Each structure stands twice: as C-alpha cells, then as structure tokens.
Amino acid sequence: MNELKNKKILIVDDENELLKMLSEILFRNGFYHIFTASNCETALRIAGEQPIALYLLDVNLPDGDGFTLFERLREISSAPAIFLTACGEGNDRIRGLGLGADDYIVKPFLADELVLRINAVLKRVYSISEINSSFRLPGATVSFETASVQKNGKEIPLTAKEYILLKKLYDNRNKIVTFDALCLAAWGGEYYGYENTLMVHIRRLRQKIEAEPSRPRHLLTVRGLGYKLVIANE
C-alpha cells in the first residue's frame, strides 16, 4: 500500500476551497504527491509534465467540462480517473463511466469515502501481477509493462480499464471468462449494470489487438457467458 500512496494524483476542480480541502484530506492519509488544477488548460499542462497515476475530475470547469478533459487526457495518459459529480446528476455518472472512467463520487461526500474509493482504484489498477509482461498475436504485440500495443509500426496505449480486462483475459487465456468476472475485475464489488460498458471496452480492445476488429480471431464472444482470449500453441 505504501507504494500505491507514492503515486501522483491530480485534482481538477474550479473551487479553490475544495481543491485545498481535498489536498489536505489526501495528505493526512499519506498521499504526499498531490497536484491541483482549476481549469482544463492547467490540468493538461501538468499531465504532460508529470506521470500522473490518478485523476480526480470535476465535471464543470471554467474552460470546458470534465468529460472533454478526460478524453484529451486519454491521448497522453492511460491513468485511471474518478469523476466528482453534483448530487442528482445521474446522466453525468452514465456519461463518465461510458467514456471509461473508473469511478465517480457525488458531492458532498465523506472524506473517508473519498479515500476508500481512491485506494480501491489504485489497488485495482496498479497491484496487478506482472509475471507475464507481454504476449504476441499476429500483427500485434501487447506489453503489460508499458500498457501498450505495438501494431503496424505504431505504439497504441491501453487505457486503465482495457489493461485490467486484457490482463484478466490473458491470465485465463484459451478459457471462458464470464461477464461477471470481467466486470468484477474492472469495477470491483459494485459491478452490476456495467455489462454494456464492458462491451464498449471489448470493442475498443479488438480495434487495438485484432488484425480485423470486425472479424475477431482472438478476442472472442462466447454468447451468453462471456469472452475468451484465444492464443495459439498455448
């Protein structure tokens, strides 16, 4: 856990008092590498300069919104994200999770709840065994060490969720992994209702690892049960 608390966290919110409060909460709980930004421009600059491990993103920002910022951050980082949403904004939750966010927390929230959710996401994303650091498919090489796919001479980054799902499938290669098992690995105990989001992530994974994503040969759907990662000669 100490290693996880050394991770760098970026908090993005336009309320300076809230930024200060969140920073103090995390500092008191052993997170000493905290960065803050009150707008999208500053957040992108920090993300480009620092190896941020987790983003806390407010939805409403003065020069944009958290969703657009998250999509832009995904171009330079695969770090997980937690959205901070206003009470009653259910559509924000659905949109954020659909984009690939790892969690959301509704304002106002308890300090202990925030810390628990941050610890859960960090543990889920960064405590994965790296015994098998890479594997090859025809036309693509997946590296768990760099969280990327080498394909057609290009390096394609994996998002945090794609990384977790692909690692779960690889650890059970050539076997069926159920929908529930994949959702549990990616979203933890409160995974019910994520089946459609799982399908989106699987489709994006196929675009990255398959030679013909519309006719997958390796990341297969097992109708009614789950998915299977087929690797020849294993």
Size of the chain, expressed as the number of residues it contains: 234
Q: What is the DSSP string of 96-129?
A: HHHHT-SEEEEES--HHHHHHHHHHHHHHHH---
Q: With the CA atoms of 36, 31, 98 and 150 taken in that order, what torsion angle do they form, in degrees rounded to the nearest 10?
A: 100
Residue type (1 letter), 95: R
Place of tokens 């090489």: 141
Q: What number is the average pLDDT over the span 63-88?
A: 83
Q: What number is the average pLDDT over the span 167-180?
A: 90
* pLDDT tens digit sequence for 90-101: 565 566 566 677
pLDDT band for position 87 (cuts 50, 70, 90): low
Q: What is the DSSP string of 23-64?
A: HHHHHHTT---EEEESSHHHHHHHHHHS-EEEEEEESEETTE
Question: Helices 16-28 and 111-126 meet at what angle, rounded to 10?
Answer: 70
Q: Could you tell me which residues come within 8 angstroms of residue 128 by beta carbon, excluding any fewer than 6 positions away?
A: 144, 163, 164, 167
Q: What number is the average pLDDT over the span 1-29?
A: 89
pLDDT of residue 50: 86
Structural domains of the chain sorted by starting position, each given as residue range(s) with its CATH number in brackets:
2-126 (3.40.50.2300), 134-229 (1.10.10.10)
Q: What number is the average pLDDT over the span 69-78?
A: 84
The CA radius of gyration of the chain, in Å to the nearest whole number, is 18
Among 158, 160, 126, smallest CA distance to 142 is for: 158
Cα separation of 108 and 153, whole Å? 47
Residue 151 has pLDDT above 60, yes or no: yes
Q: What's the chain's average pLDDT?
A: 86
Q: Which of 46-50, 73-77, 196-200 has the lowest mean pLDDT?
A: 73-77
